[in-house]
Amino acid sequence: MDHHLQVTDSRTGKSYKIPIQGNYIRAADIGRIGAPEDKEDIASLKAARPLQILDNGFQHTACMESSITHIDGLRGTIRYREFPIESVFHQYVYEDVMHLIIWGSIPTQQQKDHVREVMGQAMNPPQSVKDVISSFPRDAETFPMILAGMSAFASTDSVICKTRHQQSAMFHGHLDTADEALARTIAYLATTISLIYCHKNNQPWTPPSVSRSLLGNLLHMMGITDPRVESCLAKLWILYADHEMTNSTAAVLHAGSTLIDPVSAVTAGIICGYGPLHGGAIDLAYEAFRHIGTAERVPPFIERIKAKGGRLFGYGHRVYKTRDPRVALIEELLEEHRDAVEANPLLRVAMAIDRYANQDPYFVERGLKANADLMGCFLYTAMGFDTDMIIAITILSRTPGALAHWRESLTQPVKLWRPQQKYNPPLAN
């Protein structure tokens, strides 16, 4: 059956039929509605200004059509391509899921080997990248170091450099070139993070090998040899591999819509990923745990947040109004690594916060629960990573997902992203 909205514009008396397709209406159909700005003006269509949609924070606006990930925030389900997240989590490791998300299928061994080779080769940093990272003080924040490392890598990649000097689009409609550039972008980020880790810990950096997976090489380059870390992250990363149109993925696509190269587009996503309301919330959540210190001090802390209308970082999510399905899967991993997790005193504070928030009407009524990103951090902490490094690694685990969306955008018509604003004239003095 054909569904539509029947709308009458009271300014003009005109009626419009707006088609509804799968619970979406097209903004262009809203743009057919219009009225002259000046009521004295003749009601000519030429003078009519198309109706605009004001949607602060894009809460009701879809900006892409995608077949990669489906999240149902009301039912609490996630699908990667045709698979429920629970089934990929139990059957596969991250390397398989990365391939599924970017290229649409679980890879054959040959496909895996090819990706390993392209990434493994690109992971070898030129001296300029090493110099840039080692020029930072050892206690510098990871965030600016990543931006510097990625910029240094971009300046040495001739294909990436050419993007801004080419009349025709280099990646749109050229998926072979795009695939190679995409794989190199992920590799650059892995190397940058590993160089930062080694520099901060004043330890030697280990060169990558083309026989290892992305995750295997990251840990290898960092000098982390405990096999528990790789097996834990090979599962945990599946849960962060993609999350459809997140703020950072949108940033990658926004930058990508200018036809910029994938390293630069991913850098835009990294910047968003470190924002306090996004991935950076983890740092603030941990800071709060340290500040609270003991479980007894949790109730007054939360009451202060409620009274001041502040934020409990690591809580809440734009999409989920029910339980995030990733949380149950993270709990399986937490159970598996229970001893290492419970050795972390901050977790006792986090658990006390969770108990308090779960029965407090403020959080219950607003559907605010610990988000999966925070829960996953307890595993990272158990594996010995600092929060600063956790955010970096989480961003790396998401980058293939963001680039899957970038790749998908290359198969669609080029359209520069350029939102509108509602202009409010200044008040007269």
Catalytic hit among 317, 337, 360, 386 = 317
Distance CA 212, CA 225 (A): 13
Query: Could you tell me which residues are beta bridge partners of residue 19?
Result: 4
Is 74 a binder of ligand ACO (CB under 6 A)? Answer: no
Is 76 a binder of ligand ACO (CB under 6 A)? Answer: no
Q: Which residues have CB under 8 Å from 419's CB, separation 6+?
A: none
Q: How many residues bind ligand ACO (CB under 6 A)?
A: 19
Whichever of 323 and 366 has its CB closer to ligand ACO, that residue is 366
Whichever of 174 and 366 has its CB closer to ligand ACO, that residue is 366
- Extended strands (E) in 198-345: none
Torsion 177-118-412-63 (CA) sign: negative
Q: Give the shortest CB-291-to-ligand ACO separation in angstroms.
A: 15
Q: Provide the phi-psi class of 268: left if phi over 0, else alpha when psi is between -120 and 50, else beta.
A: alpha
- Closest by CA position to 371, among listed 222, 239, 255: 239
Is 326 a binder of ligand ACO (CB under 6 A)? Answer: no
Q: Which stretch binds ligand ACO (CB under 6 A): 98-106, 119-127, 205-213, 271-279?
A: 271-279
Q: Give the shortest CB-315-to-ligand ACO separation in angstroms.
A: 4
Residue 242 falls in the annotated catalytic set = no
Is 317 a binder of ligand ACO (CB under 6 A)? Answer: yes
Residues 143, 390 contacting (CB under 8 angstroms): no
Residue 232 sits at φ, ψ, to 5 deg, of: -70, -50
Subset of residues 95 to 124 that bind ligand ACO, contact rule: CB under 6 A: none
How remote is the C-alpha of 364 from its chain's centroid? 26
Is 221 a binder of ligand ACO (CB under 6 A)? Answer: no
Q: Which of 99, 184, 235, 278 binds ligand ACO (CB under 6 A)?
A: 278
Is 313 a binder of ligand ACO (CB under 6 A)? Answer: yes
Distance CA 209, CA 217 (A): 7
Is 214 a binder of ligand ACO (CB under 6 A)? Answer: no
Q: Which of 223, 316, 354, 417 binds ligand ACO (CB under 6 A)?
A: 316
Q: Give the shortest CB-319-to-ligand ACO separation in angstroms.
A: 8
Residue window 230-269: x/- pattern of binding to ligand ACO, with contact defined by CB under 6 A: ----------------------------------------
Query: With helix as H, strand as E and coil as C, how does 322-366 read?
Result: CCCHHHHHHHHHHHHCHHHHHCCHHHHHHHHHHHHHHHCHHHHHC
Distance CA 190, CA 129 (A): 13
Local structure of residue 139 (DSSP, 8 states): T
Q: Give the shortest CB-180-to-ligand ACO separation in angstroms.
A: 29
Q: Give the shortest CB-132-to-ligand ACO separation in angstroms.
A: 27
Q: Which of 314, 376, 400, 401 binds ligand ACO (CB under 6 A)?
A: 314
Whichever of 220 and 243 has its CB closer to ligand ACO, that residue is 243
Is 277 a binder of ligand ACO (CB under 6 A)? Answer: yes
Q: Which of 230, 373, 379, 407 binds ligand ACO (CB under 6 A)?
A: 373
Alpha-carbon Rg for the chain in angstroms: 24
Q: Give the shortest CB-314-to-ligand ACO separation in angstroms.
A: 5
Q: Give the shortest CB-276-to-ligand ACO separation in angstroms.
A: 7
Q: What is the dihedral of CA 18, 24, 26, 29, to 10 degrees?
A: 10
Residues 79, 244 contacting (CB under 8 angstroms): no
Q: Which of 252, 312, 334, 377 binds ligand ACO (CB under 6 A)?
A: 312
Distance CA 256, CA 250 (A): 9
Is 311 a binder of ligand ACO (CB under 6 A)? Answer: yes
Q: Which of 219, 368, 402, 404 binds ligand ACO (CB under 6 A)?
A: 368
Which ranges of 43-157 does DSSP label H, i.e. alpha helix?
A: 85-91, 94-103, 109-122, 127-134, 142-155
How remote is the C-alpha of 349 from its chain's centroid? 27
Q: Which of 66, 69, 267, 371 binds ligand ACO (CB under 6 A)?
A: 371
Whichever of 120 and 279 has its CB closer to ligand ACO, that residue is 279
- Closest by CA position to 89, among listed 342, 393, 333, 385: 333
- Closest by CA position to 179, among listed 102, 111, 245: 102
Residue 157 falls in the annotated catalytic set = no
Q: Give the shortest CB-279-to-ligand ACO separation in angstroms.
A: 5
- Closest by CA position to 144, among listed 391, 402, 397: 391
Judged by the rule CB under 6 A, the positions of this chain that interact with ligand ACO are: 57, 277-279, 281, 305, 309, 311-318, 366, 368, 371, 373
Q: Which residues are catalytic?
A: 317, 373
